[in-house]
Amino acid sequence: MRLAMAMISLAAASCAWAQESKVLLKDAPGKDKVMQCMACHSLDYIQMNSHFLDKAGWTASVNKMINVFGAPIPKEDVDAIATYLAENYGKPPAK
Amino acid sequence: MRSSSSRRSFLVGLAGAGALAALGFPRRASGAPVGSAAELGFTEIPDGALAEQYLFALPGKLPLIKKTFRPPNFETPVEYFRTPITPNKAFFVRYHLAGIPQSIKADDWSLSVAGDSVERPLRLTLQQLKKEFKAAQVTAVNQCSGNRRGLFEPHVAGVEWGVGAMGNAVWRGVRLKDVLAKAGVRSNALEVVLDGADQGAIDKTPDFVKSIPVDVAMRDETLIAFEMNGAPLPHWNGFPARLIVPGWTGTYWVKHLVSVKVMSTPEKNFWMSTAYRLPRGLFKTPTFTSQLYAPNEPITAMVVNSLVTSPRSGQQVPRSKTIPVRGVAWDGGSGIDRVEVSTDLGGSWQRAKLGKDLGQYSFREFALDLPAREPGALIVMARATSNSGETQVNQLIFNPAGYHHNVIQRLYVEVV
């Protein structure tokens, strides 16, 4: 939480990036954990990569952020984040 | 005369449902969302990307298509490709990492030249760079490796670029080889490693560092540029100096360049060893031989490509007028031999007139006026062929990271 608040104030401090506060994610369970993504990037990366990844695809993305880019996200949050992303920004179920 | 519906059925039979969906027809150009790829006769970018993007002006820039705010990724709208030189204020912006200097003072900047294959490490100020070395310039296309990634089918993760992660400019600076000669390059030199002033938002993120083969670094046209189209580089395009590697994709054109290292060993950080790689041998582009320590290989030179800037897919053209087909073509450095246009799904092709030759690394304009004699639907296609004999493809050469999209456009035009 402290991290998210710090990131929000950092983002607001930069005039060029202040606009990113207009990027809003859907309200659903797990959103609070997804806000941790703002430590490194604006949240529009999520909408931009929708709706074509399934839960496995989103899990791979989140793990890449942690393992390759060093995102400070606890391992125990990965499933909640991937579930939120798959349900709200994932590939629609096959008809 | 074939009716438009039978033409559509024919198209489905010939090219498949994907191509049909790509046409997005019939729709008026004016009603298309910002940065729509369907409007250009391509597979549409992901729906979430299309909904989230809009025109937004970064400081010092014109309104460009916002893909992401932080790090900033902004695409050039297609209108700016109607001239062969892309204006600085409209030039696309691409960063990997959010730790970008808010501003850099030219007087505070310096470039370090070092590495285990250098005899005399140097540090050069911008003044020294400008005074002590001979000026050089080149007109060259800077295109992101992932330009058109959003048009991939199936979609792949990444920045979902439409067609505008590219631009063409006159770059002016000094030759990298002259700077390296001053430092003294040893005979065991293998790669030249480039680092810019940008970095990750957190320390653990791998810094964006790239390398090029020493023979590419030594080419006359490989520059450390500090001017673009006669003006200092815009901040968002690498002020005060960036690397220019004509023919090669934008990933090597390191912005805010602060360090050049000549090394006797391959650079193996994430951005070289894992990112910006292709299945080996999938494209007939130059091989980066010192980077073949993994099963895949780094992307290198651009593939031949073109962009039709007019007409737009879904456009209606009055009967008895002509359909002006206009656009630009480019490749990885051999230059453009010809651009041909077809209105019968590739059954026959006619040559467009090429514009002024601005050099082998530049956009080359093309133009052809098609007659619009009878009412009905037309599919307009354009394909470029390079001087090395390479031609654009009918079907996407799929690769997991979404690079080198050079599929022939299919624009749906209605003569009414």
For residue B204, list chain A residues with Cβ-Cβ distance below 8 A.
69-70, 72
Supply the ipTM of this predicted assembly: 0.91
- Assign B5 a pLDDT band (cuts: 50, 70, 90): very low
Q: What is the pLDDT of residues B324-352, one digit of tens each?
A: 999 999 999 999 999 999 999 999 999 99
What helix, strand, coil percent values describe chain B, rounded to 5? Answer: 20, 35, 50
* pLDDT value for B16: 34
Closest-CA distance, B200 to chain A, in angstroms, reads 7
Q: Do A72 and B159 touch (CB under 8 A)?
A: no
* pLDDT value for B32: 86
Burial classification of residue B358, based on how many CB atoms lie within 10 Å of its CB (0-12 exposed, 13-18 middle, 19 or more buried): middle
Closest-CA distance, B96 to chain A, in angstroms, reads 10
CA-based nearest residue in chain B for residue A88: B48
Strand B409-415 relative to strand B315-317: parallel, antiparallel, unpaired? parallel
Query: Quick one: average pLDDT of B82-105?
Result: 95
Q: What's the CA gap between B263 and B241, in Å, rounded? A: 21
pLDDT at A6 over 90: no
Q: Do B204 and A11 touch (CB under 8 A)?
A: no
Token pair of B339, please? Answer: 């651009």
- Assign B320 a pLDDT band (cuts: 50, 70, 90): confident
* pLDDT value for B158: 98
* pLDDT value for B378: 94
Could you tell me which residue, B238 or B24, shows the higher pLDDT?
B238
* pLDDT value for B14: 32
Query: Quick one: average pLDDT of A55-70?
Result: 98
pLDDT at A18 over 90: no
Axis-axis angle for helices A55-67, A78-89 (nearest 10): 140
CA dist B39 → B36, B163, B270, B310 (Å): 6, 11, 36, 11
Phi/psi at B310 (nearest 5 deg)?
-155, 135
Share of chain B above pLDDT 70, in %: 93
Could you tell me which residue, B90 or B11, shows the higher pLDDT?
B90
Strand order in the sheet with B376-386: B315-317, B409-415, B376-386, B336-342, B350-351
Q: What is the DSSP letter of B240?
A: T
Token pair of A74, please? Answer: 């606890």
* pLDDT value for B236: 97
CA-based nearest residue in chain A for residue B206: A69
For residue B52, list chain A residues with Cβ-Cβ distance below 8 A.
23, 44, 47-48
Could you tell me which residue, B24 or B76, shows the higher pLDDT?
B76
Token pair of B243, please? Answer: 């690397």
- Assign A93 a pLDDT band (cuts: 50, 70, 90): confident
* pLDDT value for A95: 66
Q: What's the CA gap between B128 and A47, in Å, rounded? A: 46
Q: Do B70 and A57 touch (CB under 8 A)?
A: no
For residue B59, list chain A residues with Cβ-Cβ distance below 8 A.
15-16
For residue A72, list chain B residues with Cβ-Cβ distance below 8 A.
202, 204
* pLDDT value for B102: 83
pLDDT at B19 over 60: no
For residue B72, list chain A residues with Cβ-Cβ distance below 8 A.
16-17
Nearest to B231 by CA among B384, B87, B53, B49: B87
- Assign A19 a pLDDT band (cuts: 50, 70, 90): confident
pLDDT at B388 over 70: yes
* pLDDT value for A1: 34
User: Is the Cβ–Cβ distance between A46 and B69 less than 8 Å?
Assistant: no
Q: Which amino acid is at B147?
A: N
What value does the mean pLDDT of chain B take? 93
pLDDT at B362 over 80: yes
Query: Quick one: average pLDDT of B271-282?
Result: 98
Query: Quick one: average pLDDT of B93-111?
Result: 94
